[in-house]
Structure 1
Amino acid sequence: MIRLPNAGGGAREYTPRPAPDPEPSEGTALTSRTVFSAAHVVADPYADTTPDSPAAVDWDATLAFRRHLWSHGLGVAEAMDTAQRGMGLDWAGAAELIRRSAAEAKAVGGRIACGAGTDQLPCPADLMTVRQAYEEQLALVEETGSQAILMASRALAAAAKGPDDYLDTYTHLLRQASEPVILHWLGPMFDPALEGYWGSADLDTATDTFLEVIAAHPDKVDGIKVSLLDAQREVDLRRRLPEGVRCYTGDDFNYPELIAGEEPAAGGRFSHALLGVFDPLGPLAARAVRKLDTGDTEGFRKILDPTVELSRHLFQPPTRFYKTGVVLLAWLAGHQDHFAMVGGLQSARSLPHLARAYELADGLGLFPDPELAESRMRSLLTVYGVPR
């Protein structure tokens, strides 16, 4: 029995589960869907840093976590917002992360895609400078042999005067790319600085511009990653994609239905996945998608539907702080030895929020060692002064 604090004050008694669900076996790559987990970075807790100083990363633990994801057949989406890109991890740290993770992927045969953006720039910057920053990062990603993800850019959002500036910038970048890339549309709930991306705050108008970029160079676009937390908008968007261009859901609220897809009578379209919540859910997500690999949609939903409550909790507003819950769960699951984050972001969520995340994750059987998770949660509660 463990006492967990309530959001409205007071505490409740919770009995942790005595054992985890059977750990899904390590496996080969998934076949019915392409699935990326956007992975977090592990901070070096002994580094003498401040929130404004460059990130200090525990490289051994960070790469070990990526090997964990690859061992279950998942791809790794590297240096994305889950890795605290722009929220504690600067471009120098992201570049080193990309180099190290790409080398590790080659060593173990893991799939990897890496974010290329413009976060080496101070704001404001002019459009030409934004383009050059994108080119620098795209070149580095491609030099490592990784697939590139063209991330949404705060600098471009600040510099662009309208849709034409986005069309010109992305058209140039797609011409420069040596291999098909993934385009990333990250909504303002994940980063308020991206409000009005693609040149309009009206999402219908923005969608038209986004699709115009893709239509001009479909051979250079492997897929799109949509993080708008709007399932119907994603369904409508993927119906308009050119043949061969994938939709990777980034919807951490509605992912089971989007990955499962439509009935054949409705077109049979579905989304692949590039999700931050598949960091803590990695083994469970892989087991679920293997059900889809055999045509068992019902089995897929039976495994993944119960995880949505946890995901919605982790990603509740302010959504951009979901990383704190992700790292908490990695610590409780034994993937790292501490609950510290680059930039001190472990303080970004309240204790009741973290306690509920523990409770939901334990209920799903996510912890390989429930006793370890309980012990670590008790130690966190003690730090906050919660009586035993």
Structure 2
Amino acid sequence: MSKSIVTIRKKAISQGRMSLYLDFYPPVWNVESNDYTRREFLKIYVYQKPADQYQKIANTESLHTAELIRARRQNEINKSEIYSAFEKEQLVIQAVGNESFLQYYKKLGEKKIGNNLSIWGCAIFHFEAFLKGNDLLFKDVTVSLIEDYRDYLLKAKSLRKNKKQLSRNTALSYYNKIKTTLKAAYKEDKLKTDINAKIGSIKEMESQRNFMTLEETRRLFATPCPNLTVRKISMFSVLTGVRYSDIAKLTWSELHYIKDDGHYIIFRQKKTEGTASIPISDEAFELLGKRRGENEKVFKDLNKWDVDRALPVWVALSGINKHITFHCFRHTYATLQLTAGTDIFTISKMLGHKSVKTTQIYAKVIDQKKRDAANKISLL
């Protein structure tokens, strides 16, 4: 690396004065701004055209002071060139340690999209509340601090108007965001300790997953629906397991056909941001209608408000006495596949789950149904 040269420069300002600053070439690292810089303003001024002897003396003294600072900075830079490898490493660690972990967390969250962006925003809000408005530097991130945050989340109130306590699974979701950030920071050498590997976790609470049986599903679709589009997307979700958010944004460019193999949807999931390739049946494809422009939405007239209004009426008309939301169609798809004998690993891939553990809840549902069936037969 070439040796840096420090030079005194002047910049004209108001009232016939000039501000003195140091010019570094090449640029040097500034710990406060976390960036390279070529300038350091000294807050020392000289008169551009001294009007009398006093102003001349003031100029001489100001230039002398600036020169002392310039020489000191030059020595500091020269000293850095003779640091040992260990000393240089310690300086880097010190500089990184003084960077803001909170700002790093926020920047990571800003890269998210869709509903994931909103969830990260809520998670960051709670982390700021935990910090009580204070910043958090990388050097101050510890196992005990993150575990204190975990305890905070398990007792925290919701951001909603009802101010209810966060559900355990919501707390888990927010906690996982900080774990993801810790993992990324360690990977980038901003944290020298893998804190994520040392902290405890929040155990997921198995949530109620309502679904319909095959008989109920057929009964629903045999019942006239107040909204034809709602019927189409509901049937499409039952046949494919695709979420409402992904159906709503589905475009024709994401529909593919492979000869001797069939139709596929290849798309980026809105919730997980992962890319999924899902084969769909001819029956599901026929629901989509006539193909239009590649960038056009498949269900261009879809409106969530219409879905929320029509679905309860439709379910009631069919005589199904269950609380069925649109997401229940995804659960129905999974349980019907398991009942039909499809292995859980295949279903996990079809649902776009990152881990088969997420899919195993459906296997437990089916196991319970088997247990209930077994208990129906008694010879006593």
Q: TM-score, normalised by structure 1?
A: 0.21
Which structure is larger by alpha-carbon Rg, 1 or 2?
2
Q: Which has the higher contact order (CA 8 A, sep 6+)?
A: 1
TM-score normalised by structure 2 residue count:
0.21
